[in-house]
Structure 1
Amino acid sequence: MISIRGLTKSFRGAPVLRGIDLDIEDGEKVVVIGPSGTGKSTLLRSLNFLDVPDAGQITVGDLTVDAARASKSDILALRRRTGFVFQNYALFANKTAKENIMEALVTVQKRPRAEAEERALSVLRETGLAEKADSYPAALSGGQQQRVGIGRAMALGAEVLLFDEPTSALDPEWVGEVLDLMRRVAEKSQTMIIVTHEMQFAREIADRVVFMDGGKIVEAGPPSQIFDAPRDDRLRRFLKRVGRDQGAG
C-alpha cells in the first residue's frame, strides 16, 4: 500500500528526517511514537507534501512520487489518496460542520454540491454529530471539532488516513470521544498512520509501532515488542519517561 524510500527533510539547514525507509501494508495501522522534535509530524506531513521533502520517493498504491521531480499534478494525485487529520483541527471558522466536510469534496474531487452535501451528512451521522451539521466551529467543543476534522478526512474516501497527534490540543475530557471514533475507523480495515503520545491507545490499536528518534526510525515492531520488550536503549528511556507522565507504557 505505502512505500517510503530515502525520505529526507531539513529546515534552515537542520536535518529533521534522515533517510526514512518504511513499508506499510493495506489496512495496516501504524502508530509513530518518539520524543518531541524528532521528526514524527514532519514525516506525516511529508507523505502528502504539506512539507515538501528534500529527497526520497513516496508510493501509495500504484502512484510513485519522487520528491526531486514532483509536479503539481503528482502532488495533487498523492493528496487525493491521503486524508489528513490535524492536531489543531484546521477547520474553516466561517463554515459550518457540514460545509467544512463538503469543501474538499467540491473543490478537490469536483463532486456536485448535492452529492457532497449528502456525503457530508452521512459522515456526520457516522461521527455522532448529525445534530451539529449547521453549527460553526466556535459553537463546538474541541472534541466535536476534531471529530469534524476526522469526518472531513473520512469523507474523501482516501486510501490512507494520516493523524498528526489528533488529541494533543484537546482538554482531557474530550480525548476519549476522539479516540473512540478512531477505533471505529480502524475497524473498517482502513490504512492509518497515527502520530500520538497516547501510549495505551497505541498499544490497543496498532498493528505495528514505529519509534523515531533524531530523525530516524530506531525500532519498529508489534506493540508487544515495543512496549514489553524494547531492544533499543533510547526506546527504553523514552517509555520510562512517558510512563512517568502518563502512568502507562
Structure 2
Amino acid sequence: MTSPSGIAISDLNKAFGDTHVLKDISLEIAPGERVVVIGPSGTGKSTLLRSLNFLDRPDSGTIRVGDLSVDAAKASRGDILALRRRTSFVFQNYALFANKTARENITQALITVQGKSTADANARADAILRETGLADKANSYPAALSGGQQQRVGIGRAMALDADLMLFDEPTSALDPEWVGEVLDLMRRVAEKRQTMLIVTHEMQFAREIADRIIFMDGGHIVEQGPPSQLLEAPQDPRTKAFLRRVV
C-alpha cells in the first residue's frame, strides 16, 4: 500500500494459555475502506480487534499503520502508545468513565494521549457532541444516559481522536433493541466520511449496507472474504455457507 494511512497485519498470533485464538492472521485494509468481520462466537473476532491496539497483547506478528510498524513480540511501551495514537476503539459495553461527564469522557484521551490543552479538548468534544446529537448531554454522567446515548458518547470519543483506524467491537450487542438503530445510524454517518473502519458485528443487514468487504472468521482463521454481494449471497467455503444459513 502506498497511502500513509494504509493498514497491514502480518502473521498475527494470540493464545490464552493452551487456547490458540488467532492463527497467523494476515490482512490489509486500504485507506477509507470499511471492513466488517463476521463469524461464530468464540472464533477470535474480538481478540483480533483488541490485539490491534494491544488491549490484548499479541504473541507474534506485525501491525503496520501508515509509516508505523510494530513487531508484537518486541513491542515497547512507546511502540504500543504510538500504535494507540493511530487507532481508536469502540467497546461493546461502552467502557465510559462513570465519574466523568459525556464531555469529559471524550476529552480524556485527547488530553492524556494526544496532549491537547483542556480548552482545545473541550472545543473538540463539544463539536463531536453536536455531531452525535448529544449537545444537551455534555454535562450528563453515564448513569443518566440511555444505552444508545452512552454508546454514541463512546463512538464520539473514538471520532474525536481522528485515528487512522476505528475499531468497533460488536457496538450494538449490549443495547436494547430500541437503541440499536440510532447507533447504527451514527456509524453510517462516520462511514460516509470514508473513515477506515474494522467492525465486528452480528447485524447482517448493516454489514451488507456499510461494508466494502466482509471477512468470515472461524477457528482463529480468516476463512473467506469478499464484497458483501459475493460473500453473503455466493459464499464459497462450506463453513461460511453453514454460518450464513444459521444467521441470515
Task: Indicate the TM-score class for this superposition, using the shorter chain for normalisation.
Answer: over 0.9
Aligned to 1:246: none
1:50 positional shift: 0.5
Counterpart mapping for 1:35-46 below 5 A: 35-46=40-51
Alignment partners' CA distance in 2, 1:231 and 1:141: 41
Aligned to 1:231: 236
1:49 aligns with 2:87: no
1:222 positional shift: 0.3
1:238 positional shift: 0.4
1:13 positional shift: 1.6
Query: Residues 109-159 of structure 1, C-alpha deviation per residue, up to 9 Å, x if partnerless?
Result: 111101100000000000000000000000000000000000000001111
Alignment partners' CA distance in 2, 1:38 and 1:164: 14
Counterpart mapping for 1:14-25 below 5 A: 14-25=19-30
The match for 1:113 among 102, 112, 118 is 118
User: Which ranges of 4 or more aligned residues in structure 1 deviate by more than 4 Å?
Assistant: none
The aligned length equals: 243
1:12 positional shift: 1.2
The match for 1:11 among 16, 20, 24 is 16
Aligned to 1:66: 71
Aligned to 2:3: none
1:86 positional shift: 0.2
SS in 1 for 2:15: strand
1:189 aligns with 2:212: no
Counterpart mapping for 1:38-187 below 5 A: 38-187=43-192
1:208 aligns with 2:233: no
Alignment partners' CA distance in 1, 2:181 and 2:133: 14
Q: Which amino acid aligns with 1:107?
A: T
Q: Which amino acid aligns with 1:12?
A: G
Counterpart mapping for 1:230-249 below 5 A: 230-243=235-248
Q: Which amino acid aligns with 1:170?
A: L
1:70 positional shift: 0.4
RMSD over equivalenced CA pairs, Å: 0.4
Q: Which amino acid aligns with 1:210?
A: I
Q: Which amino acid aligns with 1:134?
A: N
Alignment partners' CA distance in 2, 1:161 and 1:154: 8
TM-score (norm 1): 0.97
Q: Which amino acid aligns with 1:90?
A: A
SS in 1 for 2:95: coil
SS in 2 for 1:5: strand
Q: Which amino acid aligns with 2:228?
A: P
Alignment partners' CA distance in 2, 1:93 and 1:68: 34
Unaligned runs of 5+ in 1: 244-249
Aligned to 1:27: 32
Query: Residues 48-89 of structure 1, C-alpha deviation per residue, up to 9 Å, x if partnerless?
Result: 010000000000001000011101110000000001000000
Unaligned runs of 5+ in 2: 1-5
Q: Which amino acid aligns with 2:56?
A: D
Query: Residues 185-207 of structure 1, C-alpha deviation per residue, up to 9 Å, x if partnerless?
Result: 00001000000000000000000
